[in-house]
């Protein structure tokens, strides 16, 4: 799979996935499970949720390439047989929802591990499967979150129309959720896609809706990825949307908000925010500020297994070439080369 056939039609494989879920499949499974299949209860569901948390924490700290094989092994060797087991309808829906989170995590890990056709294809397949599982579980928040993964992929690969359509689908699935962070997550997804599509009006509107939602209290718990969309993460994403729209002062303010006020609790996340802030400062003509910020970025980046961090390292090194006579810039380029390996 290469970039040109990543999506197989104008509306894309990812958009076709919207018609795939079978909401009655769990009901049928509860009636047709083979007699010798394993019994699945609340304990198995809790185990999947705990593994999602543990593996997700590790990946957020060290990058998606750190433990993807562990997530895939757990999915194929343990969870797969539970999906084919015997369970009540309520337990089945909880199991499908938890598995959707695990599959989504595997997709995010593949996407963050490297920018190769194989990994891009794996991520896309995992996200589409996570969407189907979530839809079959009747969980609109997880459905929207899986679609967000596909939307972000479209943005990164330049499929702007598909990204906007998937962003719109995210917002539609999340429209009636009583979870401010989730609503902010999906509105920001659409705002980002629209900004990449040079649709300033749509991007500004949905960025404003995202800002209104992020501070609202949530009646639901904090298990899903959307519920973990913190004000700091929102500030980072909003900053980069504003940067895309050309409002560099507001972009810098939001990135400072992410770093200094709300804080970002994972080393990978902090590294990416610092890399982005350095780029914004350079675009503003603040060379000294960019160099200091990029130095902090390199402090965080060493040892991370993340394609986004590697891309930020490459971008920084290229931009620093114009300052070849500046000792601090040369030192940063040398440090970045050692970290890139």
Q: Given CA atoms 281, 287, 292, 296 in this order, what sign does their dihedral have?
A: positive
* pLDDT confidence band for 3 (50 / 70 / 90): very low
Total-model pTM? 0.86
Across the range 237-264, mean pLDDT stands at 92
Q: Given CA atoms 128, 133, 139, 142 in this order, what sign does their dihedral have?
A: negative
Distances (CA, A) of 315 to 98, 214, 340: 37, 30, 12
- Which range is least confidently modeled, 33-37, 86-90, 226-230? 33-37
Q: Is 40 within 8 Å of 91 (Cβ atoms)?
A: yes
* Exposed e or buried b per residue across 39-61, where buried means at least 16 C-beta atoms within 10 angstroms of its C-beta: ebeeebbeebbebbeebbebbbe
At a CB cut-off of 8 Å and minimum separation 6, what does 230 contact?
Answer: 181, 262, 264, 265
Indicate if the pLDDT at residue 31 is higher than 80: no
Three-state SS annotation for 250-272? HHHHHHHHHHHHHCCCCHHHHHH
Across the range 132-141, mean pLDDT stands at 90
% residues pLDDT > 90 (the chain): 60
Rounded Cα distance, 68 and 152, in Å: 19
The structural domains of the chain, with segments of one domain joined by +, span 11-138, 247-331
């Amino acid at each position: 799979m290469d970039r040109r056939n990543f999506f197989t039609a104008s509306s894309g494989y990812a958009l076709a996935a919207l018609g795939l879920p079978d909401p009655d499949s769990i009901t049928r499974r509860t009636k047709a499970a083979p007699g010798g299949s394993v019994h699945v209860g609340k304990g198995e569901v809790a185990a999947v949720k705990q593994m999602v948390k543990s593996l997700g924490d590790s990946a957020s700290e060290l990058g998606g390439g750190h433990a993807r094989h562990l997530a895939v092994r757990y999915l194929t060797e343990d969870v797969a047989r539970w999906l084919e087991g015997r369970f009540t309808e309520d337990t089945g829906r909880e199991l499908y929802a938890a598995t959707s989170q695990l599959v989504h995590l595997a997709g995010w890990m593949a996407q963050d591990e490297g920018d190769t056709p194989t990994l891009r294809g794996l991520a896309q397949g995992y996200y589409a499967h996570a969407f189907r599982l979530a839809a079959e579980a009747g969980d609109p928040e997880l459905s929207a979150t899986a679609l967000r993964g596909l939307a972000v992929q479209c943005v990164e690969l330049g499929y702007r129309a598909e990204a906007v359509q998937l962003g719109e689908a995210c917002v539609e699935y999340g429209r009636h959720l009583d979870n401010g962070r989730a609503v902010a997550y999906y509105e920001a997804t659409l705002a980002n896609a629209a900004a990449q599509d040079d649709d300033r009006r749509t991007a500004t509107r949905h960025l404003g809706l995202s800002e209104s939602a992020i501070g609202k209290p949530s009646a639901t718990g904090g298990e899903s990825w959307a519920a973990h969309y913190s004000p700091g993460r929102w500030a980072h994403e909003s900053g980069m949307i504003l940067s895309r729209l050309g409002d560099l002062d507001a972009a810098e303010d939001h990135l400072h908000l992410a770093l200094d006020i709300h804080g970002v609790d994972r080393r990978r996340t902090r590294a990416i925010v610092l890399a982005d802030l350095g780029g914004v400062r350079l675009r503003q003509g603040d060379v000294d500020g960019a160099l200091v910020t990029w130095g902090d970025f390199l402090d965080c980046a060493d040892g991370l297994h993340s394609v986004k961090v590697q891309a930020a390292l490459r971008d920084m090194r290229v931009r620093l070439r114009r300052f070849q006579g500046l000792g601090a810039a040369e030192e940063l380029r040398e440090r970045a080369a050692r970290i890139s390996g």
